Amino acid sequence: MRDQIGEDRSRLVAARQAVVRDFVRRHFGLRGTLRLHRAALGADLLRAPANVVLAPVFLMTRLLAMLAMALRLHRLADFLLARQVLLETQVARRVAAEVQGLLDDLQARGLGVAASPQAVSRAVQDYAGVRSAVSEMTTTLLVLVSGYAVFHSATPGILSLAGPIATLRAEAEAIAGFPLGQGLGRMYYAAFPVTLPPWQVVLTGVALAMLASLVTTFAGVLADPVQRATGTHRRRLMRLLDRLDRTEGAGQGLAREHLAARLGDVSDLALSLWRALRG
């Protein structure tokens, strides 16, 4: 009997993998992700920066929900999990609709999950949220690479990048306006660095944050094909199906992608504080 159950489960997983693989190819390849991101040309340009600000609040509600579940405070956990902290972008809505369509297709093929409609809806929204977190991680990686290429130092976020860029711009302006010429100006300011007022760093940080939000809005164009090529999208969808088969665990955890995205923020803050204290 156990052998038969194991064989049936293996056939179910194999059949699902074939459907999921085709779904990922159609929706998360280069052409598919470009179609998804057409929806970003609009209000998403405003929602994306708002979500970057709200992301730590989202993380806190999920951590509190996990603590409530550990303490068997199920009503509180359900209340916290039901909070829609992040603004739903058009791209996230499209992703959620496509994933819901995948689940409906599996159901029609007799390969559906055992979870309730409420658990399915929550899991679909969680998947769209994870994909947004990956977009943030992609932006953080681009900032890190850019900072290392230009300044040869770690810049895991906007806070740590704002100071060097503001200083570089101020030095360029000072050298250009040096009365004895730019050559002597470079030598002078190499010996006597430009004193930078704090408001210039703040304005630079605001401008960079706006640019980073724009990059995050379209970061999926880069991240989706990479995740398709590495099999990340396929494995994530198969884990979603597995969780939905075990209905009690569907949609109640905290995806590691959210933690990784916030780890970048914490690293950025810690590095900025360290450099400020070091002078």
Q: Are 217 and 210 in contact (CB under 8 A)?
A: no
The pLDDT score that the predictor gives to residue 251 is: 47
pLDDT at 6 over 70: no
Q: What distance in Å separates the CA atoms of residue 2 and residue 124, rounded to the nearest whole number?
A: 31
Provide mean pLDDT across the span 231-255.
Answer: 77
Q: What is the mean pLDDT of the chain?
A: 80
Overall number of domains in the chain: 1
Q: What distance in Å separates the CA atoms of residue 171 and residue 220, rounded to the nearest whole number?
A: 35
Q: What is the pLDDT of residues 141-182, one digit of tens each?
A: 888 888 888 777 777 777 777 778 888 888 888 888 888 788
Q: What distance in Å separates the CA atoms of residue 223 and residue 92, rounded to the nearest whole number?
A: 14
Residue 194: closest CA among 208, 207, 178: 178
Q: How many CA atoms lie within 13 A of 232 on its CB side?
A: 15
Provide mean pLDDT across the span 123-137.
Answer: 85
Q: What distance in Å separates the CA atoms of residue 61 and residue 82, rounded to the nearest whole number?
A: 10
Structural domain boundaries, residue 41: 2-278
Q: What distance in Å separates the CA atoms of residue 180 and residue 175, rounded to the nearest whole number?
A: 10
**DSSP code, position 89:** P
